[in-house]
Amino acid sequence: MSAFTFLQSTSLVLLLAITAGCKDDGSGKQPPFGSGANDVSQASGYIGLDVLKTIHASEPGSTILISPLSIQTAFNMALEAAKETTFDQISATLHNPSLDVNVVRVETSETANVLVNQSGHPSVTIANAFFYDPTRLDPNQAFLDGIATHYGAHIASDNFGQQSAVDNINQWVENKTNGLIEEIIEKINPEELAFIINALHFKADWAHGFNESQTVKDDFTQSDGTKISVDFMTEDRNFTSVFTDDWQMVDLPFRDSTFSLTLVRPSDAQQTGWLQSFTMADLQGLYDKLELQRVYLRLPVMELEFEYELSDPLKALGMTDAFSSQRANFTGMGTPLQGPNIFISRVDHKTVLKVDEKGAEGAAVTSIGFAVLSAPPSMRFNVPYLLSLRHIPSETVLFMGFVEDPK
């Protein structure tokens, strides 16, 4: 049976806006993961699930897509400037409360090197930048040197009072996301003096493609019972998967088998509200039970876009001082020239995820089916599900989402 190469292209941007203003989890120790993992890479899944559940609690019924890796990397750069309680709260939110900045530097660099340079087929780009206005901030050279050396950050100074500064930031973002995200900011507010930015782009073919001729339209039932018609890729073959009384999971490897896309749904299609009680221990337990078995799989074609200002979720997770004009301590960044204290004014997060058959490259893909007398178990992702795009050896989570509408 002929098959088509399956292309996935994803991009995101996370922007930390720094401004000057008036002075005025019980998740436990992360379990061990595969070789190549470190404390920083392992923490990404915990960060992702924390943020995902916090947004979901305030936005029930919404499709959410975030990048734990991007959030983590941007705030790891912010740690270079943070001091005292501000540093401690950021570290705790990032699930690295016991790590000093030198360890964070080394482990972030190790993880980025594995993802970008050692992954084989997938194209992965991780880019960092620091844009600042020299009339608003006199930066510490040690801070600039630190983020340039340890995070490869692009350093740029600009006049934030000019539209060209906005255009330059957005152009950098567009270049680093391969054009998938053209804009991260519309304007720069008068009190904003600097931006820390992380951009990530991922693109890969499946290890075993889906036959485009078997894509069919069917109903997807949202949490409130609303049915919408979406395209489902359909395949009857061996998949790395697990069925339990409570959960169904499929783990789809990309071509070099170091990255995969995981989908999880409750076994009971009528169950709703389950995300809030779902934990990393649940996810890891399902990963431990994965096996190659014949499955009749229906997977939605996905085209997701998500944009969110993350200040409130991060405050709810304990990162409060960083956003306070009175309590924030980012003295390591430099001296503000138009206000007495530096704090974070906003955290803009924007993501795009496309999963479809448009990326046929003409590569040969073999699909092997095994005949049995009875029909194989069916796994249909036609109800809201959790997704996680991860690097398997290091357990770094690049993307995590909760899908209410695959379109």
82 & 222 share domain: no
81 & 224 share domain: no
319 & 288 share domain: no
Torsion angles phi and psi, residue 147, rounded to 5: -75, -25
Mention every residue, 6+ apart, whose C-beta is less than 8 A from residue 311: 323, 344, 346, 347
**Structural domain total, the chain:** 2
158 domain-assigned: yes
Give the pLDDT confidence of 66-123 residue by residue, as tens digits.
999 999 999 999 999 999 999 999 999 999 887 888 999 999 999 998 888 754 567 8
Tell me, what CATH number does 275's domain have?
A: 2.30.39.10
Give the pLDDT confidence of 224-270 residue by residue, as tens digits.
999 999 999 988 889 999 999 999 999 988 887 788 889 999 999 88
143 & 251 share domain: no
137 & 195 share domain: yes
Q: In this model, does residue 48 exceed pLDDT 60?
A: yes
313 & 295 share domain: no
Residue 120 is predicted with a pLDDT of: 54
Give the pLDDT confidence of 179-202 residue by residue, as tens digits.
888 888 888 888 888 999 999 888
Which structural domain, as residue segments, surrounds residue 323? 7-204+304-353
What's the average model confidence in pLDDT over 139-158? 95
Calpha distance 178→182 (Å, rounded) = 9
Torsion angles phi and psi, residue 305, rounded to 5: -135, 135
Residue recorded with tokens 């690097």: 391
What's the average model confidence in pLDDT over 330-337? 92
What's the average model confidence in pLDDT over 27-42? 56
189 domain-assigned: yes
285 & 161 share domain: no
Give the pLDDT confidence of 283-327 residue by residue, as tens digits.
999 999 999 999 999 989 988 888 899 999 999 999 999 999 889
180 & 278 share domain: no
Q: How large a percentage of the chain has pLDDT more than 90?
A: 52
1 domain-assigned: no
